[in-house]
C-alpha cells in the first residue's frame, strides 16, 4: 500500500442552527463519538444568529397575515445557507420539518452513500417559505409529531446515517437483521439468564439448530410487523408476491 496515498474524505455533517451548543451532544459519545474522534466522519455547526444584521441579532419576525408565534427571517437564513453553499456544494440540504416526507431507512442509506448532509434546523413557527422555494430544500420529518425545534431531529438523522458508515459498528451482520433493512421489523432478542422471573427463553433458540432458529426469527419478524405496522406488512407482501 502506498503510504502517501490520499485518505478517503470522511462523511460530512453540517448543521445550521440557533443552538450550536446542542452539538455534538449524543453524537459525541459511544460509537458515533468514537467514529468522530477517529475521523470516520466530521461535524460542523453554523450559528444562524451570526448572520443577523442588527445589534440584537434578531432572526425572527411576526408572520404576515397575523397569527401566533414568530417566523424565521428569510434574509438571515439565506445568508447562513449561502455561507456554507460553496464549501458544501456537493452535499444535499435538508430542512427538518413535521410537514416533510417521513424519514425511512432507504433515504438514510441514500444519504450515507453520498458525501454527507447539511441539516437546517427550524425554530418558532418555522421558516419563511421563500427560503425553502429559493434553495429547493428537501423537507424531512421524523414522524407525525412536533418538536420544539429541528435540532433533536437533526441529531436523530445524523445518528441514523453515521451508524451505517464503515468502521462505526463492529459487525455489519448486526446491521443486516435490524428493523426496516429487509422490509420487516426486527425479531425479539434474548440473553442470559435462560429463565428469568419464570419466563424461559424460547426453546428453539437454545436448540443449536440454526435453520430452525432462522425460521423462527423470520416468523417472529413477520408476526410483529403484521401486528404493529400493517403499512410495512402490505409493502413487504407486495414485494414478496
Q: What's the whole-model pTM score?
A: 0.90
CB neighbourhood size of 33 (10 A): 15
Q: Where are the domains of the chain?
A: 11-162, 177-240
Whether 121 and 16 have beta carbons less than 8 Å apart is answered as yes
Give the pairing type, strands 116-121 and 71-72: unpaired
**pLDDT tens digit string along 179-207?**
677 889 999 999 999 999 999 999 999 99
CATH superfamily assigned to domain 11-162: SPOUT methyltransferase, trefoil knot domain (3.40.1280.10)
**pLDDT tens digit string along 37-67?**
999 999 999 999 999 999 899 999 999 999 9
Q: Which helix (H) or strand (E) holds 14?
A: strand 11-17
CATH superfamily assigned to domain 177-240: tRNA(m1g37)methyltransferase, domain 2 (1.10.1270.20)
Ranking 21-30, 142-151, 176-185, 226-235 by mean pLDDT, the lowest is 176-185
Which residue in this structure is represented by grid cell 442470559? 192
Amino acid at each position: 500500500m502506498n503510504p502517501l496515498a490520499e485518505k478517503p474524505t470522511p462523511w460530512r455533517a453540517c448543521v445550521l442552527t440557533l443552538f450550536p451548543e446542542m452539538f455534538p451532544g449524543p453524537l459525541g459519545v459511544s460509537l458515533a463519538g468514537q467514529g468522530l474522534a477517529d475521523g470516520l466522519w466530521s461535524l460542523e455547526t453554523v450559528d444562524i444568529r451570526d448572520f443577523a444584521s442588527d445589534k440584537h441579532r434578531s432572526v425572527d419576525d411576526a408572520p404576515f397575515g397575523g397569527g401566533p408565534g414568530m417566523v424565521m427571517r428569510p434574509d438571515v437564513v439565506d445568508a447562513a445557507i449561502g455561507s456554507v453553499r460553496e464549501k458544501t456544494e456537493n452535499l444535499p440540504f435538508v430542512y427538518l420539518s413535521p410537514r416533510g416526507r417521513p424519514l425511512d431507512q432507504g433515504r438514510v442509506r441514500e444519504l450515507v452513500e453520498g458525501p454527507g448532509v447539511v441539516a437546517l434546523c427550524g425554530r418558532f413557527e418555522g421558516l419563511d417559505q421563500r427560503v425553502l422555494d429559493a434553495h429547493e430544500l428537501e423537507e424531512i420529518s421524523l414522524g407525525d409529531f412536533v418538536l420544539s425545534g429541528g435540532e433533536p431531529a437533526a441529531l436523530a438523522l445524523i445518528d441514523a446515517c453515521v451508524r451505517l458508515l464503515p468502521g462505526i459498528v463492529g459487525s455489519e451482520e448486526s446491521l443486516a437483521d435490524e428493523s426496516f433493512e429487509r422490509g420487516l421489523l426486527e425479531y425479539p432478542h434474548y440473553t442470559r439468564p435462560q429463565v428469568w422471573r419464570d419466563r424461559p427463553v424460547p426453546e428453539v433458540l437454545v436448540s443449536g439448530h440454526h435453520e430452525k432458529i432462522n425460521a423462527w426469527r423470520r416468523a417472529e419478524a413477520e408476526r410483529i410487523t403484521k401486528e404493529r405496522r400493517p403499512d410495512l406488512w402490505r409493502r413487504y407482501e407486495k414485494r414478496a408476491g
